[in-house]
């Protein structure tokens, strides 16, 4: 069986996806690709974080175009079958499919790695097209030309050696290999290339400057085909009555396309539906370790920003350029954040940076719990005590914890602006996110509650927190009663205890006071 040329592997992989319970039809991606076949726009590079459906789309593309298979039975049932060009391109092309992450263990050098691909592909070309007039000096490009055929190149994880820091001294050679193989070659009908990192740029441009790049930050063409849209997640929820869309949304919502469309990480959504349980399914621990290093040494005040984001705030920052393959260690704050966006740790839209969802929030919390973070790890640990003290009506402990958080060495918690008190509260109740859905400024009754804690477990106590500066707690308690904040909770928690929690800060005495009443 062929390894690279006209292999049936993409079809077999796509069949497995197609048969899965939580399959989502993204086949109209093919219609857009067919528009650029054998045009000057035939070089397409799509980059996204891991687990955003790049390989699934790549298998779909190979399965549709390859003349080595008959995939009509599958694609007849998909949205692409309604396209005017559907039959014109179905199973009509020679497809060269290369996954650059497939490196045999016995290959230790770049030369062994790239020559293995070249030699295997040469052999498959010679055998498939019965090429006779060949000599040892013929390059891969020359062999392809001798076939007198047109090819679609489907290239997966093009940036693998960059993201894994392999063959550092030969990475530019790899870019030249791709350029020589693909650029301005008459045998190229289409190149569809995917990876995590955008293409490396030189001062004079790029070795691969023939590609149109569609990146996480700037793609307005293929954006809806990578990641599940909100409507698609709702559709999948209809196949599983054990998990509500609201629960999936609270865990996995938060990424936005360049056009502002909400997208969800497909792997996390599917895993939650398969397991009937929402949790963090993030497994890219190596990259998170790098992020933790930035936090540990507070590089360029990155940790201060992350603490603010963990507390629920957004960071106002302009990021114009994406972190790219072969760029080296990011050095400026913008480069560090760009790398974190590209890797999927942060969400960026319209000049605002944030931690996208609860799943990623858990990963940042995990990183910040390291004892080397001092006050931060202590705050996270004490947040467990804060929740317990609140539901037990232990106002003294609540006041002590708030005092400790406020007096930490974290600049954003020094009450320099109107959001600081909310940040303190968010961090103080951080562990409550595990068992509560926490809403800020929630519409309820006749107004907006500062913080509403909705229990995820039926036996936990619901509570409302109202914040006041330079007021007594009774004022906050009376506001909760007068504006009937509790009414929404009554519908959700019939016959259950609901607490009104007043937290006040006296700016002259620099002290917190707390009052907790059942309501």
- For residue 137, what pLDDT is reported? 76
For residue 463 the two structure tokens come to 């509570």
**What is the full per-residue pLDDT of the chain (519 aa) written as tens digits?**
689 999 999 999 999 999 999 999 999 999 999 999 999 999 999 999 988 999 999 999 999 999 999 999 999 999 999 999 999 999 999 999 999 999 988 889 999 999 999 999 999 999 999 998 888 778 999 999 999 999 999 999 999 999 888 999 999 999 999 999 999 999 999 999 999 999 987 545 678 999 999 999 999 999 999 999 999 999 999 999 899 999 999 899 999 999 999 999 999 999 999 999 999 887 654 567 767 776 766 676 788 888 889 888 899 999 988 889 988 878 888 888 998 999 899 999 999 999 999 999 888 888 888 777 777 888 888 999 999 999 999 999 999 999 988 888 777 677 655 567 888 888 899 889 889 988 888 888 788 889 999 998 888 999 999 999 899 999 999 999 999 888 877 777 667 889 999 999 988 888 999 999 998
- For residue 496, what pLDDT is reported? 80
User: Residues near 172 by Cβ (< 8 Å), separated by ≥ 6?
Assistant: 207, 326
Q: How do beta strands 255-256 and 262-264 pair? A: antiparallel
pTM of the model: 0.87
Q: How do beta strands 212-214 and 255-256 pair? A: unpaired
For residues 424 and 420, give the distance between their C-alpha atoms in angstroms, rounded to a whole number.
Answer: 6
Count other C-beta atoms under 10 Å from residue 241's C-beta.
Answer: 8
- For residue 34, what pLDDT is reported? 98
DSSP-assigned letters across all residues of 475-508? HHHHHHHHTTTTHHHHHHSTT--EEEEEEEEETT
For residue 269 the two structure tokens come to 């959504």
- For residue 205, what pLDDT is reported? 60
Q: Is the dihedral of CA 19, 50, 183, 211 positive or negative?
A: positive
- Evaluate whether 452 touches 444 at the Cβ level (below 8 Å): yes
CA 315 to chain centre: 18
126 three-class SS: helix
Residue 183 burial (CB < 10 Å; 0-12/13-18/19+)?
Answer: middle
Burial letters 349-359, b for 16+ CB under 10 A, else e: beeebbbbbbb
| Strand-by-strand arrangement of the 255-256 sheet | 228-229, 262-264, 255-256
- Evaluate whether 47 touches 213 at the Cβ level (below 8 Å): yes
- For residue 204, what pLDDT is reported? 54
What φ, ψ does residue 214 adopt, rounded to 5°? Answer: -125, 95
């Amino acid at each position: 069986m062929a390894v690279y040329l006209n292999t049936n592997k993409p079809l077999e992989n796509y069949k497995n996806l197609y048969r899965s319970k939580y399959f989502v039809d993204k086949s109209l991606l093919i219609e857009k690709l067919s528009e650029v076949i054998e045009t000057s726009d035939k070089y397409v590079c799509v980059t996204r974080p891991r687990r955003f459906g790049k390989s699934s789309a790549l298998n779909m593309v190979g399965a549709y175009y390859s003349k080595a298979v008959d995939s009509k039975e599958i694609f007849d049932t998909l949205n692409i079958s309604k396209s005017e060009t559907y039959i014109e391109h179905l199973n009509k092309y020679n497809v060269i499919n290369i996954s650059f992450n497939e490196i045999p263990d016995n290959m230790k050098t770049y030369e062994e790695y790239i020559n293995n691909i070249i030699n295997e592909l040469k052999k498959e070309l010679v055998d498939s097209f019965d090429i006779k007039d060949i000599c040892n000096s013929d390059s891969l490009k020359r062999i392809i030309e001798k076939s007198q055929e047109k090819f679609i190149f489907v290239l997966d994880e093009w940036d693998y050696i960059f993201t894994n820091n392999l063959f550092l001294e030969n990475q530019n050679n790899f870019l030249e290999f791709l350029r020589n193989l693909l650029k301005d070659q008459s045998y190229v009908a289409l190149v569809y290339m995917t990876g995590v990192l955008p293409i490396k740029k030189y001062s004079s441009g790029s070795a691969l400057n023939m590609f149109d790049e569609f990146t996480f930050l700037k793609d307005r063409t293929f954006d809806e085909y990578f990641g599940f849209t909100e409507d698609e997640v709702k559709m999948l929820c209809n196949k599983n009555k054990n998990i509500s869309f609201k629960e999936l949304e609270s865990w996995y919502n938060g990424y936005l396309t360049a056009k502002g469309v909400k997208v969800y990480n497909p792997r996390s959504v599917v895993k939650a539906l398969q397991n009937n349980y929402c949790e963090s399914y993030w497994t890219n621990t190596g990259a998170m370790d790098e992020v933790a290093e930035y936090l540990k040494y507070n590089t360029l005040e990155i940790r201060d920003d992350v603490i603010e984001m963990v507390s629920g705030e957004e960071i106002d920052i302009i990021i114009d350029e994406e972190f790219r393959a072969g760029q080296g260690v990011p050095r400026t704050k913008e480069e560090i954040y760009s790398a974190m966006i590209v890797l999927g740790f942060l969400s960026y839209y319209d000049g605002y940076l944030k931690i996208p969802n609860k799943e990623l929030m858990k990963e940042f919390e995990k990183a910040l719990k390291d004892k080397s973070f001092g006050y931060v790890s202590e705050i996270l640990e004490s947040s467990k005590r804060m929740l317990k003290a609140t539901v037990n009506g232990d106002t003294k402990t609540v006041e002590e914890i708030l005092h400790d958080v406020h007096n930490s060495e974290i600049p954003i918690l020094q009450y320099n602006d109107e959001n600081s008190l909310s940040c303190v509260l968010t961090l103080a109740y951080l562990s409550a996110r595990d068992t509560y859905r926490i809403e800020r400024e929630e519409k309820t009754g006749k107004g907006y509650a500062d913080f509403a804690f909705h229990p995820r477990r039926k036996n936990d106590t619901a509570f409302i927190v109202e914040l006041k500066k330079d007021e007594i707690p009774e004022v906050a308690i009376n506001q909760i009663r007068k504006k009937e904040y509790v009414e929404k909770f009554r519908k959700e928690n019939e016959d259950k205890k609901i607490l009104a929690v007043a937290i006040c800060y006296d700016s002259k005495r620099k002290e917190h006071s707390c009052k907790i009443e059942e309501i």
